[in-house]
Amino acid sequence: MEGGGKRVALVCHRRWGKDDLALHWTATQLVTKPGTYWHMLPEASQARKAIWLAVNPHTGKRRIDEAFPPEIRARTNDQEMFIETVNGSYWHVVGSDNFNSLVGSPPAGIVFSEWALANPAAWAYLEPILNENGGWAAFIYTARGRNHGYSLYRLAQDLDSWHAELQTVDDTGVFTPEALDESLKSMIAIYGKDEGKALFNQEYYCSFESPILGAYYADAFDKIERENRIGRVRHEPGVPVHSSWDLGHTDSTAIFLFQVVHREIRVIDYYESAGKSIDHYVRELQSKPYVYGSHLLPHDAFDSRYKLATGKTLADSIRKLGLQRLVQVPQLEINAGINQARLLLDRCWFDAEKCDRGIEALRQYRREWNDKMRDFRARPLHDWTSHGADAFRYLAVGIDYVSRGMQTVVKPRTSRARDFINKLSHIV
């Protein structure tokens, strides 16, 4: 990067010093090339703890004070986590959980820390900005299975304009064999033999083969990959396309689009966005070349407590905008819904290109870890993966209603028979 490189993918073992390296590199940029720079972690709250307030255990000083000494600072804002330098540069600590709401001048350089756990849509959103202004991006992370972190590393290996590097403990010699052996034993004691070894290989040997710890659908996707059920999944014009929604009242809305062909669930498309009104999502679906069947919606879409400013429920608004056959998915305890999703994945085929983000959400959807109890909580971790995972969970819970209701679309029947089937299908 000192020689002019603009893109770096650095996959290194735990305690390698990735953030420290990135902080000091950014400091040189602040004083030599005035601009706005971001240090981005998966979540803003995590960014405050891991970067803004973090203390170097070797020196007892805050990491940001070591990287950005008082002599170069004009102002430090603790609440908004930014530093202004004497030459007019700005350095911000931010989270990829709200990247599309960040305001101000566009960044000239971004550090994507813990990229394998971050929202991959952040790069899709920010890459054009950096391309336009000639900015740089550094991705620093530890492996987390074969997710978007793995894909980015492989891309960086193939492109001359990128630098890719992977360093394990064997490359650096940071830890003694005794320390590594102790760490392995500790992980096995906490997580069990198989998961402990997998986590050790992931953290210290940068193994992309180790599954994401606590991932709900890891086994299901291992089977899906073995059976080559992720690839090109064609849209069948003669079969209705159904949708399953997770409606975000304050954050992202996610929609899976699928067809039921015999016993196969063909997941042909996926859409997700944030900060948009309900008509945006309806127009998005209407712009696609599909003939729609049923639309699976969570119970709150029909709940009068969530009325829009117009006084209508979300379901009323969706229907008025032109989508019919709205199905209220039954309320089911979340872990029961996750079990339904596990079972349904055995029948699913996914279009790799159109469903890429949805697939990533399902792969990484995981249980929340309790540091105090040293065990997983009974509930999922709420992060960027939750929206796509919830949309698929509603698909799994509501699929029986779709399967019965689709008979009126696939096989023409008399109006009397069609009315009878509609009643059976719980079509709202």
Report pLDDT for 371: 61
Longest dimension (CA), the chain: 82
pLDDT of residue 252: 85
Do 132 and 232 reside in the same domain of the chain?
no
Arithmetic mean of pLDDT, 300-313: 76
Residues 159 and 178 reside in one and the same domain: no
pLDDT mean across residues, the chain: 87
Residue 424: predicted pLDDT: 43
Same domain, 335 and 202: no
pLDDT tens-digit map of 82-137 = 999 999 999 999 988 777 667 667 899 999 999 998 988 889 889 999 999 999 99
Total domains in the fold of the chain: 3
pLDDT confidence tier of residue 244, bands split at 50, 70 and 90: very high
**Model confidence at 50: pLDDT above 70:** yes
Is there a domain that residue 323 lies in?
yes
Assess whether 28 and 154 both reside in one domain. yes
Asked whether residue 216 is assigned to any structural domain, the reply reads no
Instruction: Give the whole-angstrom CA distance, residue 419 versus residue 408.
Output: 9
Residue 186 sits in the same domain as residue 284 = no
Report if residue 304 sits inside a domain. Answer: yes
295 and 189 within one domain? no
Same domain, 148 and 45: yes
pLDDT of residue 250 exceeding 80? no
Domain for residue 265, yes or no?
yes
Q: Which of 211, 244, 276 is the last residue of a domain?
A: 211
For residue 2, being part of any structural domain is answered with no
In a domain, 218, yes or no: no
Looking at the fold, whether 177 and 272 belong to one and the same domain comes out as no
Q: Distance from CA of residue 257 to its chain's centroid?
A: 18
Per cent of the chain over pLDDT 90 is 64
Q: Please write the tens of the pLDDT for every residue from 191-203.
A: 888 778 888 999 9
For tokens 């390296």, the residue is: 21
Q: What is the predicted pLDDT for the residue at 406?
A: 41
> Where residue 73 falls among pLDDT bands split at 50, 70, 90?
very high
Whether residue 306 has pLDDT greater than 70: no
C-alpha distances out from residue 413 to 283, 286, 416, Å: 30, 26, 8
The answer on 181 and 48 residing in a single domain is no
Average pLDDT of the segment spanning 375-397: 90
Q: How many residues does the chain have?
A: 428
Please report whether residue 94 resides in a domain.
yes
- The boundaries of the domain holding residue 71 are 7-167
| 278 and 409 part of one domain | yes
CATH number for the domain spanning 60: value is: 3.40.50.300
pLDDT for position 374: 59
Q: Judge whether 307 lies within some domain.
A: yes
**167: phi then psi, degrees, rounded to nearest 5:** -130, 125
pTM of the full structure:
0.71
**Do residues 239 and 332 both lie within one domain?**
yes
| Residues in Cβ contact with 379 at an 8 Å cutoff, skipping those fewer than 6 apart | 334, 367, 368
CATH number for the domain that contains residue 364: 3.30.420.280
Same domain (yes/no): 118, 145:
yes
**Of the residues 211, 237, 266, which one is the last residue of a structural domain?**
211
Cα angle 79, 81, 83; round to 5: 120
Task: Kindly report, residue by residue over 202-243, the tens digit of the pLDDT.
Answer: 999 999 877 777 889 988 998 999 999 999 999 999 899 999
The pLDDT of residue 414 is above 80: no
